[in-house]
Amino acid sequence: MIGKFSSAKILGIETSCDETAAAIVEDGNRILSNIVASQIDIHARYGGIVPEVASRQHLLTIIPVVNKAMTEAKVTWQDIDGIAVTFGPGLAGSLLVGVNVAKAIALAKQLPITGVNHLEAHIYANWLRKEKPPCFPCLCLIVSGGHSDLVLMRGHGQFEKLGRTRDDAAGEAFDKAARILGLGYPGGPAIEEIAKSGTPCLSLPRAWLRGSHDFSFSGLKTALWHYVQREEILTTASSVADAAASFQYAVVDVLATKTIKAARELGVRQILLSGGVAANKLLTEQFHNSSPVPVLVPPPHLCTDNAAMVAACGYYHFQTGKISGYDLDVIPSLSLG
Ligand code: KG4
Ligand code: ZN
């Protein structure tokens, strides 16, 4: 694969959380197939992800998902140039399934393998586009179920973490708020949907953490909880919609204001959004309306967990000679930059 920079096909594998995913991506930007087997229905009855259930489900679905990715892309193993797999951060038992399957295939088919950081992969969802690729330096906001990271990217593989969450991640805050409001799991889409029929009329607190690029959402979540206890809002549908709209607006306000301020200070050329919360329409609208520099956002199905982003990231790893050995292991607490 090294030295072969055109028509290079990478198999991406992603099993860090509750999606079993495999994809084939050509030249780091053309998706030939992108298969995601979601476990959402299985975990929804528990109101959140059950790690043991997740890893067992990955075991059941990973081989069919990889086979489907190969079939849909109309490729054989001879066409594949390398394998990229998420090795962290994530749930240990879930990560192990993807990493071991990737290593077994690499060994059997004599293919190079590269371990990919899931957060880096989220950023690379922005390279999965037909138009011009992103340009450096850019400021990346990764907002997912486990992370709210603000990262300066100066080039491929060059990351400097500027800020992170001090407590709940943005997606986690959406999930917890949805539970407080008696809505479904995952919370982000549920809140976004019901918020359409509400207005952001409640004044909920924002943790600005001035002088720092960090985020904090647990105070906002607690304020919502107190409001629900006080007002017994669960009795009327319209007040639930207003509470959801107010919560969503508060999260979006903090994420957009702090990120855009940092982008101005740093003089970056673009802002790249990624992660499940970047699928939120209000968030992207707020960024597009207020940012002085272009804002890139992947389509919603590439914001949430998928393997095409892992393959895109892996393509650049191979280009820069970042290859893993068969001793590649999972790192559940891996961070970026
Ligand atoms: O990136 P992702 O698929 O998985 C992780 O790496 O965590 O993100 C999942 C998170 C969940 O917390 C979910 O509630 C949130 O992204 N999410 C959203 C939306 N879609 C997914 N949050 C707000 N608005 C959405 N439309
Ligand atoms: Zn993710």
Query: In terms of domains, do 185 and 288 share one?
Result: yes
- 169 CB contacts (<8 Å, ≥6 apart)? 143, 144, 145, 146, 147, 148, 217
Query: In terms of domains, do 190 and 242 share one?
Result: yes
Task: Give me 71's structure tokens.
Answer: 């079939």
Query: In terms of domains, do 219 and 269 share one?
Result: yes
Q: Which atom of ligand 1 is nearest to the CA of 122?
A: 1
Q: Give the chain's mean pLDDT.
A: 94
Distance, CA of 23 to CA of 140 (rounded, Å): 23
Helix (H) or strand (E) holding 36, with range, is strand 30-38
The answer to the question of residue 171 being in a domain is yes
Mean pLDDT of 93-122: 98
Q: Whose CA is nearest to atom 8 of ligand 1?
A: 276
Determine the Cα angle at 295 with ends 289 and 301, to 5°.
105
Domain count, the chain: 2
Instruction: Say how many Å lie between the CA of residue 101 and the centre of ligand 1.
Output: 26
Q: Which atom of ligand 1 is nearest to the CA of 186?
A: 14
Query: In terms of domains, do 54 and 121 share one?
Result: yes
With 90 as the cut, is the pLDDT of residue 30 above it?
yes
Query: In terms of domains, do 267 and 181 share one?
Result: yes
Instruction: Say how many Å lie between the CA of residue 304 and the centre of ligand 1.
Output: 6
Query: In terms of domains, do 290 and 307 share one?
Result: no
pLDDT in the model for residue 233: 58
CA 117 distance to own-chain centroid: 11
Query: Which of 40, 144, 248 best tests ligand 1's pocket when mutated (most atoms within 8 Å of CB)?
Result: 144
With 70 as the cut, is the pLDDT of residue 237 above it?
no
Q: State the CATH number of the domain containing residue 228.
A: 3.30.420.40
Instruction: Say how many Å lie between the CA of residue 188 and the centre of ligand 1.
Output: 6
Q: What does the pLDDT look like over 55-78, one tens digit per residue? A: 999 999 999 999 999 999 999 999
Query: In terms of domains, do 232 and 247 share one?
Result: yes
Q: What percent of the chain has pLDDT over 90?
A: 88
- 193 CB contacts (<8 Å, ≥6 apart)? none
Q: What does the pLDDT look like over 2-25, one tens digit per residue? A: 555 578 999 999 999 999 999 999
Where does ligand 1 bind, in terms of residues with CB under 6 Å?
A: 17, 144-146, 171-172, 174-175, 186-189, 192, 275-277, 279-280, 304-305
Instruction: Say how many Å lie between the CA of residue 204 and the centre of ligand 2.
Output: 27
With 70 as the cut, is the pLDDT of residue 314 above it?
yes
Instruction: Say how many Å lie between the CA of residue 1 and the centre of ligand 1.
Output: 34
With 90 as the cut, is the pLDDT of residue 41 above it?
no
Query: In terms of domains, do 160 and 236 share one?
Result: yes
Structural domain harbouring 39: 9-129+302-319
Query: In terms of domains, do 159 and 219 share one?
Result: yes
The answer to the question of residue 333 being in a domain is no
Q: What does the pLDDT look like over 204-226, one tens digit per residue? A: 999 999 999 999 999 999 999 99
Q: Which atom of ligand 1 is nearest to the CA of 281?
A: 26
With 70 as the cut, is the pLDDT of residue 84 above it?
yes
The answer to the question of residue 200 being in a domain is yes
The answer to the question of residue 308 being in a domain is yes
Query: In terms of domains, do 36 and 143 share one?
Result: no
H helix intervals, the chain:
40-44, 51-73, 92-109, 118-124, 170-180, 187-195, 218-231, 237-266, 281-290, 300-303, 308-319
Helix (H) or strand (E) holding 88, with range, is strand 82-88
Q: Report which of residues 6 and 318 the model is more confident about.
A: 318
Q: Which atom of ligand 1 is nearest to the CA of 169?
A: 12
Confidence of residue 151 (pLDDT cuts 50, 70, 90): very high
pLDDT in the model for residue 48: 79
Beta-sheet strand order (sheet of 19-26): 30-38, 19-26, 9-14, 82-88, 113-117
Least confident of 12-21, 90-99, 177-186, 326-335: 177-186
Q: Report which of residues 245 and 236 the model is more confident about.
A: 245
Q: What does the pLDDT look like over 251-277, one tens digit per residue? A: 999 999 999 999 999 999 999 999 999
Query: In terms of domains, do 286 and 202 share one?
Result: yes
